[in-house]
Amino acid sequence: MNLSELMAWQWKTYPENHRNRANLLTHIFAVPLFLAGNIGVIVALTKASVLIGVAALVIMGLAMALQGRGHALERVPPKPFTGPGNALARIFAEQWVTFPRYVLSGGWQRALRATNGSPLAP
C-alpha cells in the first residue's frame, strides 16, 4: 500500500475505530503529546542533547501506550500492523495527518457527541 492508499484507507476506517468516549478523550490528549515528542527528537538532534532525546522518546512511548489502551476499548479495534514499516507509516500518518484532519473536520466532536456521555457508543 503506497502513502496515498494508506491515507485514503485510514481516513475511511477512522470513524469505525474511534467511537469509544474514553478513546476519543485519550486521543485528544495523547496525539499532541506524541507530536511534542516528535518535535523534541528534532530539538535533541539539533542540540545534540541526549537528555532531551530520551525525554522525547519517553513522551512518544507514553502517548503510544495511552492510545493503545484507548484502542483496546473500541468495539472495532484497528487492524493489526503487518510489519515494522506498516506500523511506522500508520502511526505517523495517524498522528500528523488523520487525527488532526478528524478533529478539524468535526469528526472527533461528532463522535464524542454520539457517545451521549456513555463510555461505549451505541
Mean pLDDT of the region 79-97 = 96
The pLDDT value recorded for residue 1 is 81
C-alpha cell of residue 113: 457527541
- pLDDT beyond 90 at 51: yes
- pLDDT beyond 80 at 119: no
Q: Cα 16 to the chain's mean position, in Å?
A: 14
pLDDT tens track for 2-50 = 999 999 999 999 999 999 999 999 999 999 999 999 999 999 999 999 9
User: E-strand spans in the chain?
Assistant: none
The pLDDT value recorded for residue 53 is 98
